Amino acid sequence: MSSSVRQLLLPHELVFEILSWLPVSSLLRFKCVSKRWSSTIQDPAFVDVHMKRAIGSWVFRTTSDDPYESSAEQIYISRCRGLILEKRKGAQKFRLRNPSTREILHVPAPDENVLCCMRLCYITCTNEFKLVYPYTNGADENGGFKILTIGPNATWRMIEFPFLS
Amino acid sequence: MAPKNKNPNGENVVPEVQQKKTQALILKSSDGEEFSISKSAAGLSVAIKNMMEDDCAGGVIPLPLVDGGTLARVITYLNKHAEDGASDEDKRKFDEEFLSGMEVDVLCDVALAGNYLDIRGLFHDVCQRIVNGMKNKSVEWVRKTFRIESDFTAEEEEQIKKEYAWAWEGVDSDAD
């Protein structure tokens, strides 16, 4: 193991293990180390392991950036896998925020007037985040759900709710 | 116990008296060094325990992936953790001292050995040590220490830096 000609100090599975214990700020910086490190850090399997390990430190991590204490004009709505769904006060403007990486993603506005009944969820098998809210057509009480999958060209689609009709 | 058991190169060695007293099994390193160890201490390694149970341990267990210096350290650790009457507090203090003097190179060798020999406690502690040592370090320090060559262009690197500029705040200087 200590031959002087060896290339890397650690095989990549140990790099994975060590990275999985680092705080997010270090990981964002270490994305610069190499393409391999960068792709590991962004890999959903890695994110999963990292999140499980970070749960213990979540409370400390967020004291300076509390998920429930959004900036003054934002209302906290829902939270899933480290992402926070927020709504702008007095407007139908929703956004996702990742407090660990400080990234913000604006969500296409829903067609209906959604108060705070929108939820964020994660689909493990497809590795997708989805937003969902129930709606009704005021007059005949038909309704269903509107769903949006987070990703490029995200749009709201409708799922009918047959037993209401 | 660690500080007393050093050879002239400053490496931890297993005391001779102890070797004779508890001789039960021989571990052979990649560079041919032989170390005796009690079965109870060796059994703290899940990998060695399995080899003992499979009876492929005809007295000598070859460990072709662990060099002598690293194996001596691992055995020092195992002996302490198998010691009768060593309290959890004793072990914790020992672990702290045992790891505190190690350079990153040595820590990585011990981590690899701990992983290969399946000694979970040791592996976990060594990884934590490496993590604590690197979390505030610069990208350049990490590359140099772990012998990684960057395959990003200067522009790509600049782009990542721009995106997460705040993650570059409060980084230690590389001088150490």
Domain map (residue ranges) of chain A:
12-57, 67-162
Q: Name the 3-class secondary structure at B46.
A: helix
Query: Within the 4-43 window of chain A, which residues sit less than 8 Å (CB to CB) from chain B?
Result: 6-11, 14-15, 17-18, 21-26, 28-35, 37-38
Half-sphere exposure of A2 (CA within 13 A, CB side): 18
Amino acid B41 reads A
A102 touches chain B (CB under 8 A): yes
Report the gap between the CA of A15 and the closest CA in chain B (Å).
Answer: 9
- The confidence score (pLDDT) of residue B10 equals 55
Nearest CA in chain A to B115: A14
Work out the average pLDDT over B136-142.
94
Spelled out in words, what is the top-level CATH class assigned to the domain B16-78+86-134?
alpha beta
Q: Which residues contact A17 (CB under 8 A, 6 or more apart)?
A: B127
What are the C-alpha distances in Å from B36 to residues A66, A92, B76?
Answer: 54, 72, 11
Q: What is the pLDDT of residues A46-83, one digit of tens each?
A: 988 998 887 544 433 333 444 445 566 888 888 888 88
Greater model confidence, B83 or B15: B83
> Rounded to an integer, what distance in angstroms lies between the CA atom of residue A38 and that of residue B174?
21
Of the segments A86-100, A111-125, B124-138, which one has the largest average pLDDT value? B124-138
Which residues face A105 on adjacent strands? A96
Say yes or no to pLDDT of B98 above 90. yes
Which run of H or of E encompasses B82?
A: helix B68-82
B72 touches chain A (CB under 8 A): no
> Rounded to an integer, what distance in angstroms lies between the CA atom of residue A87 and that of residue A77?
7
Report the gap between the CA of B152 and the closest CA in chain A (Å).
Answer: 6
> Rounded to an integer, what distance in angstroms lies between the CA atom of residue A99 and that of residue A82?
8
Greater model confidence, B8 or B55: B55
Nearest CA in chain A to B167: A25
ipTM of the modeled complex: 0.78
Q: Which range is least confidently modeled, A122-136, B45-59, B65-79?
A: B45-59
- The confidence score (pLDDT) of residue A64 equals 40
Closest CA to A87 of A70, A102, A62, A111: A70
Q: Which residue among A6, A11, A33 places its CB closest to the CB of B148?
A: A33
Q: Name the 3-class secondary structure at A21.
A: coil
Q: Dmax over Cα atoms in chain A, in whole Å?
A: 78
- The confidence score (pLDDT) of residue A58 equals 41
The residue ranges of every structural domain in chain B are 16-78+86-134
Contact assignment for A34 to B168 by CB distance below 8 Å: no
Q: Which residue among A11, A24, A29 places its CB closest to the CB of B168?
A: A29
Contact A122, A81 (CB under 8 A): yes
Which run of H or of E encompasses A143?
A: strand A142-149
